[in-house]
Amino acid sequence: MTETLPASATRHLLRFGGDFVPFIADRAEGSFVFDKAGRRVLDFTSGQMSAILGHSHPEVTETIREGAGRLVHLFSSMLSQPVIDLAEKLASLMPGLPRVLLLSTGGEANEAAIRIAKLVTGKFEIVGFAQSWHGMTGGAAAATYKAGRRGYGPVAAGSFAIPAPNAFRPRFPGVTWRQELDDSFDLLDRQSTGNLAAFIVEPILSSGGILVLPPGYLRALHAKCRERGMLLIVDEAQTGVGRTGRMFASEHDGIVPDIMTLSKTLGAGLPLSAVMTSDEIAAECNARDFLFYTTHVNDPLPAMVGLKVLEIVQRDGLAAWADIKGAQLRAGLKAIGDDHSCVADVRGRGLLLGLEFGDTADMAAAALSDAVTDRALDLGLSANIVRAGSSGGVMRIAPPLTISTEELDLGVSILRQAVVDVTSGKMAQAAE
């Protein structure tokens, strides 16, 4: 790499999941992040897949500035008008889920959703996908199978996983996703103690390798849950608020889940999440004394930001823009794949896309994907690799919904050059 981290960073900061990238951000604006020297990096990850309006959006910045001088934090049982207004706005966007709880992070929202499901059903078994990521707190971590399960002792009792459908790398070639889903639930029924409470699902498994659930899958999964008295929790941390071309990705399948969680994109980079559910489930929660008292529940300042984010996404037609720009980005990525056999697959929806790398004669897919990501950062593009299994890697690409045509072209151009440099051996020559 062309840069190294300061000694103080490596000396004092605790690593929490992989290495830090050798870039020290000083400021960010729009689709770019800058260091102190003025070097700019095009952000193809929207921060941590969250800054859907780009960095330092002027209206969001003004909302924070004005809100910080008016109302930031309150006693947890005290309401404010921004909280009431955001709940009403979210309910209008998903009419079947009119009850809203505002929290801080996606893990916290999923924790609350799982807790609701257990309380309302009177059961405790939670099912997820084997490639899932729902958070790092207790219940959410127990439903996360992508990583982080070893070395921490037992997880919550009744934690089960089934395989997610993968059209590019099918577990059983020739078997349809419906057959796989039927078989998975048959095995699940055999293992369950009769206490199935909920299934928690991402419409696109992002950390799992940008695995897009096929059309009809969510609807079929919802039916499986209803047959067993389970609730369906849809985790829209990365897919919600317009990123996939709809306000919520579950709309692609035309379903209303029992519980939906939002985070990342709702706060456009600020810590804000939401749990949404039905009147019936809310009534049962009240009857059974649901408890989820946290320090920052229903905080007013994040609610102000959430309201502004939803206003901008709707006013500026950014969900439709994500569809249009997603098609442009997909075409650019496919063109790279057409010219370079190391690109094995391009998939995703809207502005949440994945570029999967395959083995070449000279490099394994895992090393190749890492090298391309590192080279892209050298050239001025920030992207992110998620492992697609025991080997290989998928570049996760989620630029802001506000990204321009020219910025997308620039990103594709940089990525193409990174692939060329790595596969032609220029990186190895430079190292020598």
**202 among known catalytic residues:** yes
* Burial bucket for residue 196 (CB in 10 Å: 0-12, 13-18, 19+): buried
Choosing from 43, 108, 125, 235, which is the catalytic residue? 235
The CA distance from 141 to 134, in Å, is: 7
Q: Which of 108, 111, 131, 133 is catalytic?
A: 133
- 169 catalytic? Reply is no
Nearest to 232 by CA among 245, 248, 220, 243: 220
Count other C-beta atoms under 10 Å from residue 384's C-beta: 18
Which residue among 146, 264, 325, 347 is the active-site one? 264
Phi first, then psi: what are they for 166, rounded to 5°? -135, 100
Q: Which of 131, 180, 236, 238 is catalytic?
A: 238
The catalytic position among 108, 111, 202, 345 is 202
Gap between the Cα atoms of 354 and 345, Å rounded? 8
Cβ contacts of 220 within 8 Å, gap of 6 or more: 178, 181
- Catalytic annotation, pick one of 224, 246, 330, 396: 396
Please say if 11 is a catalytic residue: no
Is residue 207 classed exposed, middle or buried when 0-12, 13-18 and 19+ CB atoms within 10 A define those classes? buried
In the annotation, is 253 catalytic?
A: no
Q: Secondary structure of the chain in the HEC alphabet?
A: CCCCCCHHHHHHCCCCCCCCCCCCCCEEEECEEECCCCCEEEECCHHHHCCCCCECCHHHHHHHHHHHCCCCCCCCCCCCHHHHHHHHHHHHHCCCCCEEEEECCHHHHHHHHHHHHHHHHCCCEEEEECCCCCCCCHHHHHCCCCCCCCCCCCCCCCEEEECCCCCCCCCCCCCCHHHHHHHHHHHHHHHCCCCEEEEEECCEECCCCCEECCCCHHHHHHHHHHHCCCEEEEECCCCCCCCCCCCCHHHHHCCCCCEEEECHHHCCCCCCEEEEECHHHHHHHHHCCCCCCCCCCCCHHHHHHHHHHHHHHHHCCHHHHHHHHHHHHHHHHHHHHHHCCCEEEEEEECCEEEEEECCCCCCCHHHHHHHHHHHHHHHCEECEEECCCCCCEEEEECCCCCCCHHHHHHHHHHHHHHHHHHHCCHHHHHHC
Q: Report, as residue numbers or ranges, the catalytic residues.
A: 133, 202, 235, 238, 264, 396
